[in-house]
Amino acid sequence: MNKYGSIIIKDLFYSYPDGTQALQGINLIIHPQESVALIGANGAGKSTLLMNLNGTLLPHSGTVQIDNHVVTKKELTEIRKKVGMVFQNTDDQLFMPSVFDDITFGPLNLGYSPEKTKQIAFDIMTELEILELQKRPPYKLSGGEKRKVAIATILAMSPDILVFDEPTSNLDIKNRRNVINIMQNINQTLLVSSHDLEFLLEVCQRCVIIDQGKVVADGEIRKILGDEELLQAYHQEKPHSLIPHHHD
Ligand SMILES: Nc1ncnc2c1ncn2[C@@H]1O[C@H](COP(=O)(O)OP(=O)(O)O)[C@@H](O)[C@H]1O
Ligand SMILES: [Mg+2]
């Protein structure tokens, strides 16, 4: 079993420069290879929390530790190798002249040979059904296509921890299914925020609810998403697949 890919968050506070207190004392431990869903209303702090995991944002106080590295400016290179992140806004993520260049950028940077890199890129593009996009400039793609390319750039590096911020937003049914299949096959630590609770049920084993920058529930996903009162309190709706069907 892989012993890498742990996340330890202690008393994490984060405020934006305008004074918005987005995280107000997050404590959370995620073990190697766990698959964790992160849910909560708009503005609860999901994206802010995820951006603190790879040092896109740095704590105001408290700590985030990835395996034995505390997330600080000094450790950023190490942290970015360990934590691959697909941002909510994929425009921030794709910057090369072609899809192929974007997907191969990471592996080449990690020192993989051009041959190995090409093989990795080919396999991932095949899996995500984006081979025909490889020569296109990313900025000219549709929202859903961009998201798939962004997912490919992270998968290509095979980091110990994969973080996805609302990965199924603007994906059609076929691509959503495709992304579910891929995520079900990820063996590394997985942390996914989404409002698509049915998707989370298929991909994650554990679920954390955050509200106003704090963890308010944490447990086995079917328990959390089956708890109507708890969900209502945090503006969520019980997924249909967890509602018992009566056939008379
Ligand atoms: N760049 C920013 N500047 C100021 N406040 C922000 C910024 N980004 C997010 N916020 C605020 O921080 C809080 C948490 O936002 P966010 O982490 O994006 O929530 P979520 O992803 O759960 O919808 C919200 O109150 C939001 O308005
Ligand atoms: Mg968000």
H-state helical runs in the chain: 46-53, 76-82, 99-109, 114-127, 143-155, 173-184, 197-203, 221-225, 228-233
Residues with Cβ < 8 Å from 16, sequence gap 6 or more?
A: 22
Give 2-34 pLDDT, tens digit per residue: 689 999 999 999 999 999 999 999 999 999 999
Distance CA 120, CA 158 (A): 10
Q: Is residue 245 domain-resident?
A: no
Ligand 1 pocket test: pick from 18, 39, 48, 191 the residue with the most ligand atoms within 8 Å of its Cβ: 48
Distance 16 CA to ligand 1 centre (A): 8
In which element (H, E) is residue 171 found? none
Question: What is the pLDDT, as a whole number, of residue 92?
Answer: 79
Question: What is the pLDDT, as a whole number, of residue 247?
Answer: 65
Split into its structural domains, the chain has a count of: 1
Q: Is residue 39 domain-resident?
A: yes
Ligand 1: atom nearest CA of 210 is: 22
Range of the domain at 127: 7-240
Q: Is residue 132 domain-resident?
A: yes
Residue entry with tokens 């697949």: 241
Question: What is the pLDDT, as a whole number, of residue 1?
Answer: 55
Q: Confirm whether pTM is higher than 0.85.
A: yes
Q: Is residue 24 domain-resident?
A: yes
Q: Give the helix, strand, coil percentages of the chain, each rounded to 5.
A: 40, 25, 35
SS3 248: coil
- Across the range 105-133, mean pLDDT stands at 95
Question: What is the pLDDT, as a whole number, of residue 2?
Answer: 64
Q: Is residue 246 domain-resident?
A: no
Q: Is residue 248 domain-resident?
A: no
Distance 98 CA to ligand 1 centre (A): 31
CATH, residue 185? 3.40.50.300
Q: Is residue 168 domain-resident?
A: yes
- Across the range 83-91, mean pLDDT stands at 90
Question: What is the pLDDT, as a whole number, of residue 91?
Answer: 81
DSSP-assigned states of every residue in 93-126 = T--SSSHHHHHHHHHHHTT--HHHHHHHHHHHHH
Residues with Cβ < 8 Å from 101, sequence gap 6 or more?
A: none
CA-closest candidate to residue 176, choices 193, 198, 158, 159: 198
pLDDT: is 41 or 244 the higher one?
41
CA-closest candidate to residue 213, choices 35, 65, 59, 92: 59
